[in-house]
Homo-oligomer: A and B are copies of this chain.
Amino acid sequence: MKRINFNGHFLLVFCVVAGILSCNETKEKSQENTNADIIFPKGEKISNNNFTGTAWLKTLVNADSVNQVAVGSVTFEPGARTKWHSHPAGQIILALDGVGYYQEKGQPKKVLRKGDVIKCSPDIPHWHGASVDTAFVQVAITGREKGKTVWLEEVMDNEYQAR
């Protein structure tokens, strides 16, 4: 009787230990994959006042006199967004991860997800940022040949939250 009880307990303990090990393995894999999803480093926290909330910029390519296209990866924490602004030579946005918002003046707000692409025409006031509860990672491709970004007013909470 004792011996068989031991076998039963042994199997139960084995089961629990195997379950825990299996759980840990799944967690580790999930962690690895989360890290693997990041393509560019987050870069530096943006400290100028052209943004609401917390956003990070990794400059990938600086414009120069020969190739005047600038490329940067921006990570917006949930709720973070740019002010309204426009680009004299337009802008292209590639959505890499998370859930973001994009809106041109007078148009409804668009929801952006991984793989979405926006081509914003020159001088069109617009804003972009993360959704309310999910961060957003984008690459911005901006021509500098016609001058600097024109920064406008803040995106109010009611504009940001509008559907």
- A contacts, CB < 8 Å to B: 1, 4-5, 7-8, 11-12, 14-15, 18-19, 22-23, 25-26, 29-30, 33, 36-37, 39-41, 60-61, 66-67, 69, 71, 89-90, 92, 94, 96-97, 114-115, 117, 119, 121-122, 139, 141, 143
Contact = CB atoms under 8 A, between A and B. Distances in A.
Copies in the complex: 2
A19 B25 CA distance: 12
| Of A22, A39, A121, A143, most B-chain CB atoms within 10 Å | A39
A115 B41 contact: yes
A21 B117 CA distance: 39
B8 A121 contact: no
Nearest to A70: B92
